[in-house]
Every structure is written in C-alpha cells, then in structure tokens.
C-alpha cells in the first residue's frame, strides 16, 4: 500500500523533493532514532556534574569534551545507518518502483532521501545544542560562584583576581564558537551521509554500505597521519601534494572538520575558517551526490 506522502507527478521538482524528504523524515522518526537525545542528556549531565575535577577550566572543558563527543557519535551513526537502510528498504517494500513510476526523476528521489536524513540530523543536533548550551551555561555560573566563594574564603577576591576568573570562565564557557563547533559537526555529517548514499547506490546490501562507510570514515579522519607516514619519506614535495590530492578525492578529508578540540580548549573559531569548512563540505556533498546519481541511473531495479 502506498501512503499519501509520496510525491505527485503534478508537483514541481522542489515540491516532490520536499515531499520525499518529509516522508523519509517520518520514516526515520518511527525508528525512534531521536531516542539518542535522551542518552545525550545523561552524558551531558554526567560530564558536567558527576566527575570530580580540580579547577574551573577542567570542569567546563570536561563538559564540552563529553558533549561534543556525543554529538559527533550521534551525527556519524545516524548519517551512515539512516542512509544505508533507505534504498534497500524502499526496494524491499517496492515503494521505490511506485515513486519512480509517478514519474519522479531519479535525481529528485536521491535528493529527497538525502534531505530527509539531513533534516533529521539537523533537528537532532539543534535540540542537543540547546540542551548542551543550557547545561554549559548553568555549569559556568555554578563554577564562577564556587570559585568566587573560594577566593573570598582565602581573601584573594581583589579586582585583578576577580577579573581573571571572569575572563577564564567566559573563555571556557558558553561562546558562539560552541555553536560553530556544532555546525562543523553537522557539515561533517552531511559529507558522510552523501558518501554513504553514493555507496548504497552500488552496494548489494545494507551491511556492506555500513561497513564500507565506517571504514572510509576511519580513513578520512586519519588522512593527515597517512600523508605523514606514507608519503613524506618516499615522495618529493610535488609528489606529496599530488598524492594528498588523490587521497582527498577518493576519501573525504574529515580531519578538516575537527575544530572541536580548539573550542574545548577555549579558542575562538575565525569566520574565515568556518567559511572554508562550509565550502569544503559543499564541494564534497555536491561531488558525492553527482556520482550517486550517475550510479543510480545505471542501477538495475
């Protein structure tokens, strides 16, 4: 039976893509993937309040480190698993044949599915960003109050000491860079989801797509190490650049999206760096979706 969420041939391209995205989002929500948000709340509270630490900087950095780790895990797992199950499930339910017979062009089908996955990830990260920011802000104020009490008890609450404490807490507390870090996590997930969608267009099974995608994600995070270990001892400078370019084309350089370590350490994110990450993500996503379409057009259904 075909549900009413499938696109109508009378609609334009954008409406069909959005209808497919909405149907995909609904399908994924029924799998209770957003239940991870409850797990995230437990992780954030645990890292914020449950572990004994020595000073204000450690307390805030520990909370940011644990929360960013959970955000990255959520986004990568959802990007790979959700994307990997879409095509096989539509084939199994024979929904794909009905959608493509509307007629819906194959590129619109792929874009709709991809947009549905990214909408789910975006909603999840936005909710977790709000939870994370609220807990971090609360912890920031608690840390400041605790440290101020300690300064007063030791009669060290002079203007310079108080100003230094305020600067420390503000640097390692809630700043706009925290939200920039969440955006970087989302952009990395966008690249991974597009790569997984491309793999699923020639994959023979869901498990194969998941395994290969996770394998490429591991390689993508270790590109810098691979370049230093394999290329530098054996190649000239020009050869290293060519080899690095080829490797970056074959596997996404996911390390360039990892700005969270700097944010955890209290550093700000330059606008230029964020723009570079956004442009790189757009380039990877566009390339993977184009290749996915070329593979999907040739795929026998």
Q: Mind listing the pLDDT tens digit of every residue in the chain (301 residues)? A: 344 444 444 456 788 888 888 888 888 887 776 677 777 777 776 766 666 666 777 888 888 888 898 888 888 988 998 888 888 777 777 777 677 667 778 888 889 999 999 999 998 899 889 988 998 888 888 888 887 887 777 777 777 877 887 888 888 888 899 999 999 999 999 999 999 999 988 887 888 888 999 988 888 887 766 666 555 555 565 665 666 666 666 788 888 888 888 888 888 888 988 999 999 999 999 999 999 989 888 766 6
Number of independent structural domains in the chain: 1
Residue 6 in domain? no
Residue 123 in domain? yes
Within a 10 A sphere around the Cβ of 270, how many other Cβ atoms? 12
Q: Tell the residue number behind the tokens 């520990």, with chain if given.
A: 62
Residue 5 in domain? no
Residue 3 in domain? no
Residue 7 in domain? no
Residue 8 in domain? no
Can you give the residue range of the structural domain that contains 58? 13-298
For residue 102 the two structure tokens come to 């509307």
Residue 115 confidence (pLDDT): 93
Residue 184 confidence (pLDDT): 93
pTM of the model: 0.84
């Amino acid at each position: 039976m075909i549900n009413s969420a499938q696109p109508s041939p009378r609609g334009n391209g954008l409406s069909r893509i959005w209808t497919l995205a909405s149907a995909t989002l609904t399908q994924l929500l029924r799998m209770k993937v957003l239940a991870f948000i409850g797990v995230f709340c437990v992780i954030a509270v645990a890292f914020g309040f449950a572990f004994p630490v020595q000073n204000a900087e450690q307390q805030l950095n520990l909370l940011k480190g644990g929360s960013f780790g959970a955000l990255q895990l959520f986004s990568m797992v959802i990007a790979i698993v959700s994307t990997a199950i879409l095509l096989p499930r539509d084939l199994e339910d024979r929904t794909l044949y009905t959608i493509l017979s509307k007629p819906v062009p194959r590129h619109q089908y792929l874009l709709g599915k991809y947009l549905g996955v990214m909408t789910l990830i975006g909603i999840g990260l936005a909710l977790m960003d709000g939870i994370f920011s609220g807990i971090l802000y609360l912890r920031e104020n608690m840390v400041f109050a605790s440290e101020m009490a300690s300064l007063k008890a030791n009669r060290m609450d002079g203007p310079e000491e108080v100003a230094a404490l305020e600067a420390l807490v503000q640097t390692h507390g809630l700043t706009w860079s925290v939200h920039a870090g969440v955006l970087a996590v989302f952009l990395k997930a966008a690249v991974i989801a597009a790569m997984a969608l491309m793999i699923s267009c020639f994959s023979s099974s869901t498990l194969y797509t998941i395994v290969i995608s996770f394998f490429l994600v591991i390689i993508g995070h270790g590109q810098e190490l691979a370049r230093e270990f394999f290329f530098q001892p054996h190649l000239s400078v020009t050869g290293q650049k060519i080899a690095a370019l080829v490797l970056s084309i074959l596997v996404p350089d996911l390390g360039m999206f990892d700005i969270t370590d700097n944010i955890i350490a209290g550093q700000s994110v330059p606008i230029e760096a964020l723009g570079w990450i956004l442009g790189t993500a757009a380039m990877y996503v566009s390339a993977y979706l184009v290749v996915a379409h070329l593979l999907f057009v040739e795929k026998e259904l």
